[in-house]
Amino acid sequence: MPASTKNAIVEARENRQHEFVCIGGSKAELFSEILDVGFDELYHIFVKYGWMEGWY
């Protein structure tokens, strides 16, 4: 995560703004440097897409 992004998130939280993370996988897939910044909510959006040849 770029330092500028981390600083912006920290500054927003100091100004009482809520920060959210929305990911397409599990929490275990996030790097600790992202989680260490601190967020108010973490949303897991699991989207599965399957395609079989001949099926549309």
Over residues 16-43, the pLDDT tens digits come to: 988 888 777 777 777 888 888 888 887 7
Give pTM, 2 decimals. Answer: 0.62
Q: Radius of gyration of the chain from Cα atoms?
A: 16
Mean pLDDT, residues 40-53 taken together: 65
CB 42 within 8 A of CB 23: yes
CB atoms within 10 A of CB 18: 9
pLDDT value of position 11: 93
Q: Has residue 4 got a pLDDT over 90?
A: yes
